[in-house]
Amino acid sequence: METIRFDYLKTFLTVTRTHNFSTAAKELKTSQGTISHHVAALEEYFNTELFKRTANGVELTDSGKILAEAAEKILEEVESTKVAISSTKEKLAGIIKINVSSVPGEHIIPSLIAEFQKEHPDVRFKIKAEDSINSLLKLQVGDADFAAVGTIKGYSNKLEAIEIGEEQLVLIVPNGHELANRKSVKLTEIIKYPYVNREETSGTRKEIERMLTESGISSSELKTTLELASTEAIITAVSECRGISVISSIASEKAQAAGLVKIVRIQGADSKRKLYMVKPKRKLQKVSEVFWSFCTEYRFKNARTPCPKIS
């Protein structure tokens, strides 16, 4: 191979960080064969072995450590060059990529973008739905410019975040459920019933686990019968009497108004959660920097999302 590609270096750094080809493939949304091909191409180009296998996955060889340091600098220089070029353009235009989890993606980002495009109509957006953790991971590896998520647990020191909203987590139960006429319940009551959970990388699930831990309850005590990848799927499952669940107050308000479920407040636990816009801790292209500044001001006008009224 006579040349190397930037995406090969990104793949290499992802394997370096995850210590696992399979995990890197899942994170980059590609096949393990593609990951192996990228690494093999780099090993051929540099005529050296970059990884050695261990009981816990793969570790860098001495050659690999040299390339990892250089690859980070190369990709940083590429981003810096893109920033420098974008700053020479007088007219603000370009594409902003945002990975969004369900609640901010459905209830906050559309109006925020609409307001921004009133001032900058030539800026386009590519919005991709992901759960919170995968959105943050994609942001780290450069596959998105921003992430709009419901948790930054474990990432607050790695990325820069601003609050764009606040809501509560509430219990939803099927119509006719024995808890349906209650105004509130304790977490100790929730664990008695079949439960419909979000996937492990969901921001909502992370916040629920936090609430349980703070109340001295292990998440393993939940009688989980289903794990689903979206709030909408959970609402459908609960409406069909597959279990009860804790979800966003914003999404649950619409579901209750449609007659699908009943909302019950959670008593004696900190059920509030913040919603965030997140960016990497580095200088962005001009169009992204302008959007970030806009988001910083926008959050003061939309600091809180009203919680639903329980009828």
Q: Note the CATH architecture for domain 6-86.
A: Orthogonal Bundle (1.10)
The pLDDT tens digits of the residues spanning 1-52 come to: 567 889 999 999 999 999 999 999 998 889 999 999 999 999 999 999 999 9
Q: How far is CA 273 from CA 112, 195, 291, 292, in A?
A: 19, 21, 24, 22
The pLDDT tens digits of the residues spanning 244-272 come to: 999 989 889 989 999 999 999 999 888 88
Identify the band that residue 187 occupies on the pLDDT scale cut at 50, 70 and 90.
Answer: very high
Residue 2 confidence (pLDDT): 61
Q: What fold characterizes domain 167-272?
A: D-Maltodextrin-Binding Protein; domain 2 (3.40.190)
Distance CA 72, CA 185 (A): 50
CATH superfamily of 94-165+273-301: Periplasmic binding protein-like II (3.40.190.10)
Residue 299 confidence (pLDDT): 57
* 244 DSSP assignment: B
Q: Is residue 99 over pLDDT 90?
A: yes
Residue 305 confidence (pLDDT): 42
Identify the band that residue 235 occupies on the pLDDT scale cut at 50, 70 and 90.
Answer: very high
| Contact call for residues 262 and 238 (beta carbons, < 8 A) | no
